[in-house]
A and B are shown apart, each in its own frame.
Chain A
Amino acid sequence: MKTIFKISWRNVWRNKARSLVIILAIGFGLWGGIFATAFLNGVIQQMFDSGIKSHVSHIQIHHPEYDQERLTELYVDGYDEVEQFLSESDEVVAFSSRTIASGMFNTASMVSGVEVIGIDPTQEKLTTDLKAHLVEGEYFNGEFAHPVLIGKQLADKVKVDPGSRIVLTFQNMEGDITSAAFRVAGIYRTANSGIDERNVYIMRNEMEELLGSDGIVNEMAILLNHHEQSGEFREKLQQAFPDHEIRIWSEIAPELSFMTEFSGIAMLVLVIIILFAMAFGLLNTMLMTIFERTNELGVLMSVGMNKGRVFLMIMYETCFLVITGAVLGGVLGVITVMLTGSSGIDLTSLGGEVLMEYGIDTIVFPTLDRIFYLNLSLLVLVTAVAASVYPAWKALKLNPAEAVRKE
């Protein structure tokens, strides 16, 4: 076995130029494939995280009719019991209880329809990236009385800055119109420009005051340790609170679910295309090798090398080519993903603003799970073995008597 191994390895280097070409083709192909997959995965991962952390969270609790009507009076009954339950659950990282009303955002000269969201700043900071997304001004730090946070999109539209005075108008619990003046404390920007134009955040106690009622919570957003816990924890919550509507992220934002599924398929397709190209390149190289070495293979069979060993020799040669190329591509790929994954790739010059319209961050951090590398390694090996079968079979079909006479 050792000698067959040695012969195969030396055979690989008999035609150095050809072997190097195929090794480099495999190496660069895999490098490109790994990087492209990591880039795509990074974009999707960031879009997903951004979707989850900007507002959606992993689970939301509402009044059963709230989703159709979106009325403030459809609130979560007994939300304090739910808060108690969430505080005692290990799966929960944080949660935010929100009061929501549709209203108007008025400046001296402009008006815009908005969703006014009353939040507990501490809860919200732990649950979403609202604070981290501030690009101007401050979070609710007490600098202004009656502070409001607005999105960059809305700020640009109505032309306000931090410190600007604005008026929010919405219906109170009695059905009367209520208005109050607020100061723009900060301007946030997420990767979702729709959210940036629609959502304005004020403190929940001030909102309840304006609504004329305490304990109004229309939405409870819950952040879990991992999104894969969502289904199981929903069941747990639903058992404890059967009268509430409890939905997980894939139901609240189906586009996030589609996106993760799509990314999986896209990555698979990309890998399959690369592996196919690699397989055909290998097949071509190995068939040429068999053709050139017909005489030698005939001699090996004549002197007593059995078919199993001939098959093994061809398979080893193919695997050596692939493994050498794969190690090269893999190392380059891992290094590139590590470097770009920590520094990020700035896409601002490639139309960052447009990308943000689609919820894509302007700085992408390519990333790949370890399991991807493991799966890719296995797939590469399977491809190598598969690509070696036909040339090896061709070698076995040689007639030794004819093969030894071939020049």
Chain B
Amino acid sequence: MTVIKTENLVKVYNSKHLPVRAVNNVSLEIEEGEFTAIVGPSGSGKTTLLNIIGGLDKPTEGKVTIADTDITGLSDSKLIDFRLKNIGFVFQAYNLIPVLTARENVNFIMLLQGRSQREMNERAEELLTQVGLSDKMDVRPNKLSGGQQQRVAVARALASHPRFILADEPTANLDSQSAMNLLDIMWKLNQEENITLVFSTHDQRVIDRARRVVTLVDGSIAKDEVREPVVPAQ
């Protein structure tokens, strides 16, 4: 089943003075359960493409369909609601809410969805345990390492039962060990729970784990390959 479909996406910045085509005629289909890495040099349009797929930015031309919804036609408020229900985000700089504990950060998404307190607590505990932070649930982000914060961010992204997770350079700020831990968790989620993952990355370790690698150059798809990922050691 196709989860994400982009058709002839174009994104032009500074269109009046110095037009820059950050994304140029990108058409892409991502199936449910795929682990896709979008790679390319800096300025190739990876983040812009991810932002458009995630509904954070609007394309200049083309459309994005998530499941059966054309999100390019949604109003801002409907788009926010759509993101809340369908998309999980993991950012490069973790971006947890600093005044909330790990558990509260995970709960927050569910709270916005109007879940019950009991449901929120159960899900948060389950997710934080899954990412190996059962002993850090009531700790605020400033008391967690970068790797731990990013794992909370993953748990937060999963909290709303999204259709897919978008991760923008999730390992860029992590040390080697933390990056590998995170990748193992993400791999496991993908393999065991069939969670669709779309990463933008420079990191070869991430690329190695992906089943599909889409290479962008100057905003256009230069290569789109499906291959066997490197399986983590058990």
> Beyond A14-B98, A302-B89, is A401–B84 a contact (Cβ under 8 Å)?
no
A13 CB to nearest chain B CB (Å) = 8
> Beyond A295-B93, A400-B56, A401-B56, is A306–B80 a contact (Cβ under 8 Å)?
yes
A309 within 8 A of B: yes
Of A3-11, A80-88, A107-115, A357-365, the segment with at least 4 beta carbons within 8 Å of chain B is A3-11
B57 / chain A contacts, CB cutoff of 8 Å: 399, 401
State which of B80, B100, B104 has its C-beta within 8 Å of the C-beta of A305.
B80
A374 CB to nearest chain B CB (Å) = 33
Pick the most buried of B51, B77, B81, B113: most chain A CB atoms within 10 A of its CB: B51
| Contact in complex: A302, B112 (CB < 8 Å) | no
Known: A303-B108, A401-B56. 12 other contacts (CB 8 A): A3-B104, A6-B100, A299-B89, A299-B97, A300-B97, A302-B89, A304-B83, A304-B85, A304-B112, A304-B113, A305-B112, A405-B47
A296 / chain B contacts, CB cutoff of 8 Å: 95, 97-98
| Contact in complex: B89, A7 (CB < 8 Å) | no
The answer for the CA separation of A407 and B92 in the assembled complex, in Å, is 11
Pick the most buried of B85, B99, B104: most chain A CB atoms within 10 A of its CB: B99
Q: State which residues 37-88 of B face A: CB under 8 Å.
A: 47, 51, 54, 56-57, 76-77, 80-81, 83-85
**Could you list 8 examples of A-B contacts with CB < 8 Å?**
A3-B108, A7-B100, A14-B98, A301-B80, A302-B91, A304-B84, A304-B85, A404-B56
A307 within 8 A of B: yes
A11 / chain B contacts, CB cutoff of 8 Å: 99
Looking across the interface, which residue of chain B has its beta carbon closest to that of A307? Answer: B77
Looking across the interface, which residue of chain B has its beta carbon closest to that of A14? Answer: B99
B156 within 8 A of A: yes
The answer for the CA separation of A304 and B93 in the assembled complex, in Å, is 18
B76 / chain A contacts, CB cutoff of 8 Å: 307
Pick the most buried of B47, B81, B91: most chain A CB atoms within 10 A of its CB: B91
B112 / chain A contacts, CB cutoff of 8 Å: 303-306, 309
Pick the most buried of A6, A304, A309: most chain B CB atoms within 10 A of its CB: A304
The answer for the CA separation of A400 and B79 in the assembled complex, in Å, is 12
The answer for the CA separation of A406 and B81 in the assembled complex, in Å, is 23
A9 CB to nearest chain B CB (Å) = 9
A405 / chain B contacts, CB cutoff of 8 Å: 47
A224 CB to nearest chain B CB (Å) = 59
B110 CB to nearest chain A CB (Å) = 10
State which of B84, B91, B113, B156 has its C-beta within 8 Å of the C-beta of A404.
B91
A293 CB to nearest chain B CB (Å) = 9
Pairs A-B, 5 closest by C-beta atoms: A304-B84, A10-B99, A401-B56, A299-B95, A401-B57
| Contact in complex: B77, A306 (CB < 8 Å) | yes
A240 CB to nearest chain B CB (Å) = 70
Pick the most buried of A10, A303, A407: most chain B CB atoms within 10 A of its CB: A303
> Beyond A7-B100, A302-B56, A304-B109, is A404–B95 a contact (Cβ under 8 Å)?
yes
| Contact in complex: B89, A303 (CB < 8 Å) | yes
B220 within 8 A of A: no
B111 within 8 A of A: yes
| Contact in complex: B99, A303 (CB < 8 Å) | no
Q: State which residues 285-300 of A face B: CB under 8 Å.
A: 295-296, 299-300
Looking across the interface, which residue of chain B has its beta carbon closest to that of A9? Answer: B99
Mark each residue of chain A from 372 to 407: 1 if its CB lies under 8 Å from any CB of chain B, else 0: 000000000000000000000000000111001101
The answer for the CA separation of A306 and B76 in the assembled complex, in Å, is 9
B231 CB to nearest chain A CB (Å) = 31
| Contact in complex: A303, B98 (CB < 8 Å) | no
B160 within 8 A of A: yes
B56 / chain A contacts, CB cutoff of 8 Å: 302, 400-401, 404
| Contact in complex: A401, B95 (CB < 8 Å) | no
The answer for the CA separation of A233 and B98 in the assembled complex, in Å, is 67
Looking across the interface, which residue of chain B has its beta carbon closest to that of A405? Answer: B47
The answer for the CA separation of A49 and B23 in the assembled complex, in Å, is 80
The answer for the CA separation of A10 and B56 in the assembled complex, in Å, is 27
B54 / chain A contacts, CB cutoff of 8 Å: 302
The answer for the CA separation of A404 and B94 in the assembled complex, in Å, is 10
B131 CB to nearest chain A CB (Å) = 17
B111 / chain A contacts, CB cutoff of 8 Å: 3
| Contact in complex: B99, A299 (CB < 8 Å) | no
A299 CB to nearest chain B CB (Å) = 4
| Contact in complex: B77, A303 (CB < 8 Å) | no
Q: State which residues 307-330 of A face B: CB under 8 Å.
A: 307, 309
The answer for the CA separation of A295 and B77 in the assembled complex, in Å, is 19
The answer for the CA separation of A14 and B100 in the assembled complex, in Å, is 11
A299 / chain B contacts, CB cutoff of 8 Å: 89, 91, 95, 97
> Beyond A3-B104, A401-B51, is A302–B93 a contact (Cβ under 8 Å)?
no
| Contact in complex: A304, B81 (CB < 8 Å) | yes
State which of B80, B91, B109 has its C-beta within 8 Å of the C-beta of A307.
B80
Q: State which residues 118-173 of A face B: CB under 8 Å.
A: none
Mark each residue of chain B from 199 to 229: 1 if its CB lies under 8 Å from any CB of chain A, else 0: 0000000000000000000000000000000
The answer for the CA separation of A301 and B76 in the assembled complex, in Å, is 10
Q: State which residues 194-251 of A face B: CB under 8 Å.
A: none
Mark each residue of chain A from 1 to 42: 1 if its CB lies under 8 Å from any CB of chain B, else 0: 001001100110010000000000000000000000000000
